[in-house]
Amino acid sequence: MAATMKNVDEIRNRVILGEFGVKNVHTSDFPGNYPGYDDAWDMHKFQKNFRIDVVHLDESSMEFDMVGMDAAIANAFRRILLAEVPTMAIEKVFIYNNTSIVQDEVLAHRLGLIPIKADPRLFEYRNTGEEAAEEEGSEIDTIQLQLKIKCSRNPRASKDSSDPRELYLNHMVYSKDIKWVPIGNQADVFADSIIGPVNDDILIAQLRPGQELDIIMHCVKGIGKDHAKFSPVATASYRLLPEITLMETVEGEKAERLKRCFSQGVIELEDVNGKKVAKVVNSRLDTCSREVLRHDDLKNVVKLGRLRDHFIFTVESTGILPPDVLVTEAIKVLMAKCQRFLNELDSDINEVK
Amino acid sequence: MELLGGEFCDMTPQELAAPVNTVAVKGLVKQHIDSFNYFINVEIKKIMKANEKITSDADPMWYLKYLNIYVGMPDVEESFNVTRPVSPHECRLRDMTYSAPITVDIEYTRGSQRIIRNALPIGRMPIMLRSSNCVLTGKTPMEFSKLNECPLDPGGYFIVKGQEKVILIQEQLSKNRIIVEQDRKGAVGASVTSSTHEKKSRTNMIVKQGRFYLRHNTLSEDAPIAIIFKGMGVESDQEIVQMIGTEEHVMASFAPSLEECQKAQIFTQTQALRYLGNKVRRQRMWGGPKKTKMEEARELLASLILTHVPVKEFNFRAKCIYLAVMVRRVILAQGDNKVDDRDYYGNKRLELAGQLLSLLFEDLFKKFNSELKKIADQIIPKQRAAQFDVVKHMRQDQITNGMVNAISTIYRLYLIKLKVYFLKLLAVLLSSSAEVSFNSSSGNWSLKRFKMDRQGVTQVLSRLSFISALGMMTRISSQFEKTRKVSGPRSLQPSQWGMLCPSDTPEGEACGLVKNLALMTHITTDMEDGPIIKLAFNLGVEDVNLLCGEELSYPSVFLVFLNGNILGVIRDHHKLVSTFRLMRRAGFINEFVSISTNLTDRCVYISSDGGRLCRPYIIVKKGQPMVKNKHIEDLSQGYRTFEDFLHEGLVEYLDVNEENDCQIALYEHMINKDTTHLEIEPFTLLGVCAGLIPYPHHNQSPRNTYQCAMGKQAMGTIGYNQRNRIDTLMYLLAYPQRPMVKTKTIELIDFEKLPAGQNATVAVMSYSGYDIEDALVLNKASLDRGFGRCLVYKNTKCTLRRYTNQTFDKVMGPMLDAATRKPIWRHNILDADGICSPGERVENKQVLVNKSMPTVTQTPLEGSTQPGQPQYRDVPISYKGSTDSYIEKVMISSNAEDAFLIKILLRQTRRPEIGDKFSSRHGQKGAFFFSLS
């Protein structure tokens, strides 16, 4: 292989953003691919390299770095977060009365998408299949909610008012109007946790005097693979850590231009001997727009790359579970899958014997 | 705004588009409404005036005279003689016709009495929505919503038997204009299609072996032109030559024609008429005084050849001069091939609903009158106890049905139109007061002879989306046969700039024949020409009747034409044209009268006829546009309207011919010292559909054309009243979105308020193989969350009739299961009244209305015994469909025939499925092939 050692390191560890393409996007560090490298899987080496840094965490979103891992695994976490961590969502809508202009199906669809605050870990999956459809939900697998509201004229509205907010009562149906109806022992079991919609201000329908909604809803446990309403995250995504290297010093007007080519805070100007010199301050903030490569005099000054094994994860929860819990749940799901796979392998081996 | 610069520098695009706003909003369907208004307010009175008196052969004392005619407001008959105003939406729902009574004031004799009767109904006229007689005119949006009508709906269509019908704009060659053209062999000829209220005919002038001939339908062979001249009383060869032109080559070209006349030994008018009399095509006679061949020939020259040139008491002067000008045109064109362009839009006229309906009404009114006359002729001679009272014989259904059928069916209108023409022709030929039979069976062959066969004129308004409805109102169909393989009529014409949309035309068969109006185009209606004639003479035009003939070809003068007729000659045509325009800008003459000079033909053309395309421009004087910043400010604040701009001479309408006579700058910075006008907004050269495309100038041109066809199929909203409609098929989007990238046109046509489509994030890349050949992959989570979710509405109708034997249809309650006492499965969704209940889910083969019908519906023969109770048999209306539907709405009403009408609106909600098509706004459509989870 004609490539020098330095080049090989770059190919192995960096994704290069060029003017006309992105290079080295595929994983190539499998055993035997590079002479002089031992790429065989080694638990110690992995443990040494692997780390997770939580950058930001609040009740609805988190950002963390996952370093020293293959993209396939990182992607598995992302996809599990999106589609396989279970939550509770409205699955059955029993419409006793709907005189609003929203069609029954559309109304049911809207209700289904409302995130319901209830810990899915405390519930069981409901049976699926033909006979199960007829079954009534029980306290261990179903939450019952009720929406009963009627719009009327506001008797205290001023005569010449034309503002619907003043003229009518209950003309906007929000998610806060959904009430929890405990079944069985649920009232005691969930006494300290309030079950209901996560957000109070989701508009469900608009009513006019005389129109009413009378609806009973059943929430069940499900996963996002089945329907997006069960997805516990608003988004879960990762990106690679950008790396910007300046090949030479950039000064004056060029430096100003260079700064403008990147997102704010990526490049700052420093005063060196009365001249403004560009310096990479925080390459993490870059969006990798490659704008700089459109400037002929700047494109050879910088080298744009991304660290192949450094994943910046962003998890935004719908509010049902905190994002850190979601990530641990996702890891548990993957572990369960691995365990199942191992079990399958074992059973297969036994069968062969 | 670097585009306009100068005066407009500091203005935002919104402010600049302000003048367009007022024009376009009215303009899109204004032409339809204007034309219909003109018909019901002006034209209908003219038609009445032309046919005002009916007399009878049986009694010379008896007569009927129409004094006035009115079209009322739309109403519906509640019970006998009790009417109530009706709203368009009620007509849509109840399958009725939105029509108003036509009433007349008449004066007639009964016995020896003279009686005047006022407001006598003679029939009903379908009323165009938003026309002057529509209940919607002048209403506020609030009142619109009370009438269940969408305030953004453009109107301009009719509601006939519950269906919305549009009469498409028809494009045809100008009437009454000389068109010089080459035939297939390369010989130059001229033709004129004359059309007046009384007669329509086509006259051709052809050249055979260097000699001129006149070809006409009523002549069995081509007549030498010199003989025609002599027949019209110009007996001297010198006079003929003087009129045609005394230049050497003109005389040389015409000499053989004179020679031929000489050879035929025809020197006097009498000889010429005798010669022509033998050539007149024999027609079948229906009695009447027999006329000599000479009389026939004179009649023919006076009223069938070039019918639009008036001949009073056989004074052929004007017609001779017209004929001479035709000959001269052909001679001049022969040398250097200066033939006219048939496809040029200055030579085209657009026919609108008003014109078509007026033809129809004229025919029906004449038929009505001849029927009355027939009745009078029959009844008066018989001695009766009661005196003959014509009012008792005036039946309304003939005119009503005639109008309704013409709009609701497609072909009828045209057959009628031809019949009118043909019968008038006969009537003139016979020139008798004898009764003209209207049962002519010759309607069909005349169809072929005059190439007037047209179809697809009325169409059901497409309510696929708001844009499709709007797009239909601006559609123009051309009358060229689709099978003819000539590219001329189909190709883009430079003269359609700004008048017709260059992008919006269908692909395939009708490509280039069906066109669409641009945003600001206006189509003129007919105008009085009396004042214009007077003005022209006052401006120095010398009357053609006072000329000796030779002046026509003087190099110092220009001929002046008004609507195809020669008015006279003018020495200083520059002054005439500029004064005329000044007068128009000052508001002394109608803003739609156009005047233009044609330097090659040495003519000044003044036009005031209907159907011309025109559009407004800002007037530029001394290199400065007349519209200034402050005007625009006033406009946007509502102090001035666009009409004020017109009246103040800041803006004027130019038709295609006058556009050719002007220097129009596209942008303000392009104004130079010769500039006369400035374009208001360049984007208005596109139509409604092309206006929806963002950045159309960055697209390959066929993409814009594809988009114009596709934009109409977009799903979304169709009007604010969409949930009140019960259409046969209606697609609505559950979550329509306003486009994030919008054009000025989108704002003007209120697409933002009634959007179609959703904003989507699109990745263009290769992935998975399910995206080959414009297929697309959609994100399953988006579909779960409601992307592309739509509602499909269908309706089911059911009428309950009464039969002649006093039996009637019944609706029975649900049938109960004997064991459980519950309704059987098929009747599960029925209410106690036997009609399905709203909100229920219907499955295949379930019953919607449990109707039963008497087995015997005919009146039993006399003598046969009447059974006590009529027998009934079940004729249930059941649901058919592989997927279940929900019942949205049930309407119970009665239709115009007083039968019970039950309409059921069914609804389905669908999410995108494999095979559905999605498209951007750039003619890029693709099928949905795979959903990615």
Kindly list the structural domains of chain A, giving each domain's residue range(s) and its CATH number in brackets, ordered by start.
7-83+235-247+301-314 (3.30.1360.10), 87-231 (2.170.120.12)
Residue B862 has a pLDDT of 62
Does residue B269 register a pLDDT over 90? no
Residue B418 has a pLDDT of 41
What would the two tokens of residue B80 be? 């006998």
Using CB atoms within 10 A of its CB, is residue B483 exposed (0-12), middle (13-18) or buried (19+)? exposed
- Name which of A97-111, A260-274, B366-380 the model is least confident about: B366-380
Select, from the ranges A40-44, A50-54, B492-496, B663-667, the one with the highest average predicted confidence (pLDDT): A50-54
Of A101, A228, A231, the CB nearest to B723: A101
Residue B456 has a pLDDT of 65
**CA-to-CA distance for B375 and B395, rounded, in angstroms?**
12
Q: Which one of A25, A105, A203 makes the best mutation probe of the B interface by having the most chain B beta carbons within 10 Å?
A: A105
User: Which segments of chain A are extended strands (E)?
Assistant: 14-18, 21-23, 51-57, 61-67, 87-98, 116-117, 143-150, 152-153, 168-169, 172-174, 178-181, 196-197, 203-206, 212-222, 233-246, 267-272, 275-280, 302-317
pLDDT bucket at B808, cuts 50 / 70 / 90: confident
Does residue A200 register a pLDDT over 90? yes
Question: Cβ B789–A106 below 8 Å, yes or no?
Answer: yes
Give chain A's radius of gyration (CA, Å). Answer: 28
Judging contacts by C-beta atoms under 8 Å, the chain A residues touching residue B736 are none
- Mean pLDDT for all residues in chain A: 90
Query: Is B909 in CB contact (< 8 Å) with chain A?
Result: yes
Residue B384 has a pLDDT of 67
Residue ranges of B 672-731 with Cβ closer than 8 A to chain A: 723
- Mean pLDDT for all residues in chain B: 82
Does residue B273 register a pLDDT over 80? yes
Query: Is B734 in CB contact (< 8 Å) with chain A?
Result: yes
What would the two tokens of residue A38 be? 């031992």
How far, in Å, are A19, A333, B225, B767, B779 from residue B763 at the CA level?
A: 20, 30, 73, 10, 11
Judging contacts by C-beta atoms under 8 Å, the chain A residues touching residue B839 are 95, 98, 104
Residue A50 has a pLDDT of 93
pLDDT in tens, A326-353: 999 999 999 999 999 999 998 877 776 6
In chain B, which residue's Cα lies nearest the Cα of A80? B933
Question: Cβ B784–A227 below 8 Å, yes or no?
Answer: yes
- How does DSSP classify residue B694? S
**CA-to-CA distance for A279 and A197, rounded, in angstroms?**
48
Of B780, B909, B933, the CB nearest to A105: B909
Residue B866 has a pLDDT of 57
Does residue B287 register a pLDDT over 50? no
- How does DSSP classify residue B412? H
Residue B405 has a pLDDT of 78
Of A106, A113, A228, the CB nearest to B734: A106
Beta carbons within 8 Å of B248's beta carbon, 6+ residues apart: none
Mean pLDDT of B887-893: 92
What is residue B224's three-state secondary structure? strand
Judging contacts by C-beta atoms under 8 Å, the chain A residues touching residue B781 are 82, 224, 228, 231
The interface predicted TM-score of the complex, written ipTM, equals 0.89
Question: Cβ A105–B781 below 8 Å, yes or no?
Answer: no
Q: Which residue has the higher pLDDT, B111 or B710?
A: B710
pLDDT bucket at A193, cuts 50 / 70 / 90: confident
Residue A295 has a pLDDT of 92
pLDDT in tens, B568-589: 888 888 888 989 898 888 888 8
Percentage above 90 pLDDT, chain B: 21
Question: Cβ B888–A228 below 8 Å, yes or no?
Answer: no
Instruction: Give me the domains of chain B, ranges plus CATH numbers.
Output: 6-17+528-685 (3.90.1070.20), 51-171+349-434 (no CATH), 179-341 (3.90.1110.10), 473-523 (no CATH), 790-860+869-910 (2.40.50.150)
Residue B414 has a pLDDT of 41
Residue B426 has a pLDDT of 40
Smallest CA–CA distance, residue A44 to chain B, in Å, is 36
Residue ranges of B 752-781 with Cβ closer than 8 A to chain A: 780-781
Query: Is A101 in CB contact (< 8 Å) with chain B?
Result: yes
Question: Cβ B785–A228 below 8 Å, yes or no?
Answer: yes
Residue B443 has a pLDDT of 27
Residue B180 has a pLDDT of 86
Does residue A36 register a pLDDT over 50? yes
In chain A, which residue's Cα lies nearest the Cα of B779? A228
**CA-to-CA distance for B144 and A290, rounded, in angstroms?**
55
Q: Which one of A95, A98, A106 makes the best mutation probe of the B interface by having the most chain B beta carbons within 10 Å?
A: A106
What is residue B572's three-state secondary structure? coil
Query: Is B784 in CB contact (< 8 Å) with chain A?
Result: yes
pLDDT in tens, B16-25: 555 555 554 4
Query: Is B881 in CB contact (< 8 Å) with chain A?
Result: no
Query: Is B789 in CB contact (< 8 Å) with chain A?
Result: yes
Dihedrals phi, psi of B466, to nearest 5 degrees? -60, -40
Judging contacts by C-beta atoms under 8 Å, the chain B residues touching residue A228 are 780-782, 784-785
Q: Which residue has the higher pLDDT, B895 or B728?
A: B728
Smallest CA–CA distance, residue B856 to chain A, in Å, is 43
**CA-to-CA distance for B551 and B325, rounded, in angstroms?**
12
Question: Cβ B785–A98 below 8 Å, yes or no?
Answer: no
Of A98, A105, A229, the CB nearest to B784: A229
Q: For residues A214-245, b (16+ Cβ closer than 10 Å) or e, as one string?
A: ebebbbbbbbbebbbbbbbbeebebebbbbbe
**CA-to-CA distance for B461 and A44, rounded, in angstroms?**
75
pLDDT bucket at A12, cuts 50 / 70 / 90: confident
| B703 Cα distance to chain centroid | 29
Smallest CA–CA distance, residue A2 to chain B, in Å, is 32
Residue B63 has a pLDDT of 87
Does residue A85 register a pLDDT over 90? yes
**CA-to-CA distance for B65 and B52, rounded, in angstroms?**
5
Residue A65 has a pLDDT of 95
pLDDT bucket at A227, cuts 50 / 70 / 90: very high
Residue B337 has a pLDDT of 63
Percentage above 70 pLDDT, chain B: 88
